Structures are given as C-alpha cells and as structure tokens.
Amino acid sequence: MKTQSPDTHPQAEEKLIELIRKQTPAQKMAQISSLTFTAMRLSKRAIARANKDLDEQEVNLLFIEYHYGKDLAERVRKYLQRKRDGNK
C-alpha cells in the first residue's frame, strides 16, 4: 500500500488505518465531531484575534461569512436583528 502521508512511517500509517477500521460508527462520528468542533473553535479564535474590536456575535457572523458566504451571513444578521427587535 502506498502511504498517504509522506512524513509518516508506512508501518505507523498502517497501524493508524487499522485502528480507524476497528472503530464503531459511533466512535468515528464522535471523532469527526470533535475535530470539527476544534477546527471551528480555532477559526473563530483567529478571527477574534485579528478583529479585537468585534464582540462574540460579530465574530460568529464573520465566521459564517468566511466559511459559508456573505449572503448567508447577511441573512443571519438580519434574522438576529429582527429577533432582537421582537419581530419574529
């Protein structure tokens, strides 16, 4: 088998793949969920550090804009504004 990671020893990679194959679907989903959460948290932290003047909501909106597009971020912003104004 050709290795997927040039910086990983082939035997180590083989062992890692073997461990992943032995996981239950629930374990795999938990691992994916954890990795996703970590990536999102790190992205938001980077956005907050680069934009120290933004509050948490604005950081979240900028995260949405960067990852899902300006249109969705603007729609969420308008939704939050309507919700804040009491117009659900």
Q: Does some domain include residue 5?
A: no
Under the banding of pLDDT at 50, 70 and 90, the label for residue 6 is: confident
**Total of domains in the chain:** 1
Q: What is the mean pLDDT of residues 13-42?
A: 96
64 contact partners, CB below 8 Å, separation of at least 6: 72, 73, 76
Q: What is the pLDDT of residue 7?
A: 86
Closest CA to 65 of 79, 55, 75, 53: 75
Q: Does some domain include residue 1?
A: no
**31 φψ region: left (φ > 0), alpha (ψ -120 to 50), beta (else):** alpha
76: domain range?
Answer: 10-85
Please, are residues 14 and 1 in contact by the beta-carbon 8 Å criterion?
yes
If one compares 86 and 63, the residue with the highest pLDDT of the two is 63
Reading the block at residue 36, the tokens are 């996703």
Q: Does some domain include residue 53?
A: yes
Under the banding of pLDDT at 50, 70 and 90, the label for residue 75 is: very high
pTM here is: 0.76
Q: What is the pLDDT of residues 29-55, one digit of tens each?
A: 999 999 999 999 999 999 999 999 999
